Structure 1
């Protein structure tokens, strides 16, 4: 049987949908921005940077508006804390995408062509993990019984990203033509990207608890 947290509160449901759209969009901007960076297309990379900054600002504004309405209108008091925690966790994912892209812009790491394919694979798995988390959130608000249909995919993609991350780090540290500082820089970038999937899984674990509580 379908159970909705927000029931007939369509206006705030629309705001939450818009917020989750921005989280999803930030993942696509991140993925495309990294592809542009690897191709050396810095003009396109800068454009993705600008768009992801806009997405973050809109996301912050929407999240604050949703929080205010939940308190001022005293909506869903029995689930308010869980909803606010969930939105904050999703906002962190958006911020992580932006932060990782900014770090690329600041440090401009040299990613040698031999690992381009694996690096793109890592980015893709991380974005898939976040997208699965977005779908889980939508289900939480629209049909809580469907949350599990998407949540297990978060863990799957997080595991896949861990595998590629480990493989990339092994490849880097076994190269003789890189200085140690270069290896460490690349390792840190790989870990920074991989950590986004870790955060998505952490959010998924919390969402699982929220869903169980609401289903009782």
Structure 2
């Protein structure tokens, strides 16, 4: 009887050890699976992020074209870009929604699921901000002379640097299959871009507030535009911060 009890105890201990080993292996497969799925699956992390991000980049390219149209006072063309941006933002929302479902259903995303969803939310904020910024300039027509004064070299540099920060985020997504050090280097570039945007923002705001060329309503409108451009860069940096969290959880 005693030998039988010892045998049962031995079996229980073996089963516990086996379960512990399986749990460890399963956890390892989760993280390894995430790495493998970066570039190999049609529903990989990189594919999903790029599908959404590429639409956002298209929005920003059209946003730049809208600004160019305003600079040449081709307001009709500028309005066409606003409508195109609006349509692209709706498409980005649809892709975002579809990809959220993919991530929630996908077993290989493992412990990174919430981080991936957070990343996509920040990217969606970029699209929203660009759409609202385009509307801000076009809903109420600012007098041409005031608009041209506002869209000076500093403001254009501000817009371009914000968009460039997003392009650095795109480069970061493309680097997700690389080593940790390279990924962190790309993250740093996004952060540096956002810091530069903040620096130029201070100059643009100072020029807006110190000028006598604008009425109160125009100042409010242009300030909102400035804040939305800043939000584009902020959202890009927030998205890059999510990548740091993923690295901390053992991604790379």
> Please, what TM-score do these two structures have when normalized by structure 1?
0.85
1:171 positional shift: 1.8
Who is 1:113 aligned against?
Answer: 149
Unmatched segments (≥5 aa) in structure 2: 1-31
Who is 1:49 aligned against?
Answer: 82
Who is 1:103 aligned against?
Answer: 136
* 1:91 matched to 2:124: yes
Who is 1:195 aligned against?
Answer: 231
Distance 1:61 1:107, change over 3 A: same
1:32 positional shift: 1.8
CA RMSD, Structure 1 to Structure 2 (Å): 2.5
Residues in 2 aligned to 1:80 and 1:114: alpha-carbon distance in whole angstroms: 43
1:15 positional shift: 4.0
1:56 positional shift: 1.6
Distance 1:59 1:186, change over 3 A: closer
1:182 positional shift: 3.3
The range that moved more, 3-12 or 47-56, is: 3-12
Unmatched segments (≥5 aa) in structure 1: none
| CA-to-aligned-CA distance 1:39-77 (integer Å, 9 cap, x gap) | 211232123223222322222222222222223342322
Who is 1:137 aligned against?
Answer: 173
* 1:173 matched to 2:209: yes
Who is 1:164 aligned against?
Answer: 200
Who is 1:61 aligned against?
Answer: 94
Distance 1:70 1:178, change over 3 A: closer
* 1:27 matched to 2:63: no
The aligned length equals 214
Distance 1:61 1:189, change over 3 A: closer
| CA-to-aligned-CA distance 1:151-175 (integer Å, 9 cap, x gap) | 1122222122222221122222222
The range that moved more, 127-136 or 179-188, is: 179-188
Q: Is the 8 A contact 1:5 1:144 kept in 2?
A: no
Who is 2:4 aligned against?
Answer: none
> Please, what TM-score do these two structures have when normalized by structure 2?
0.74
Who is 2:29 aligned against?
Answer: none
| CA-to-aligned-CA distance 1:83-104 (integer Å, 9 cap, x gap) | 1111111111111111111122
Who is 1:12 aligned against?
Answer: 43
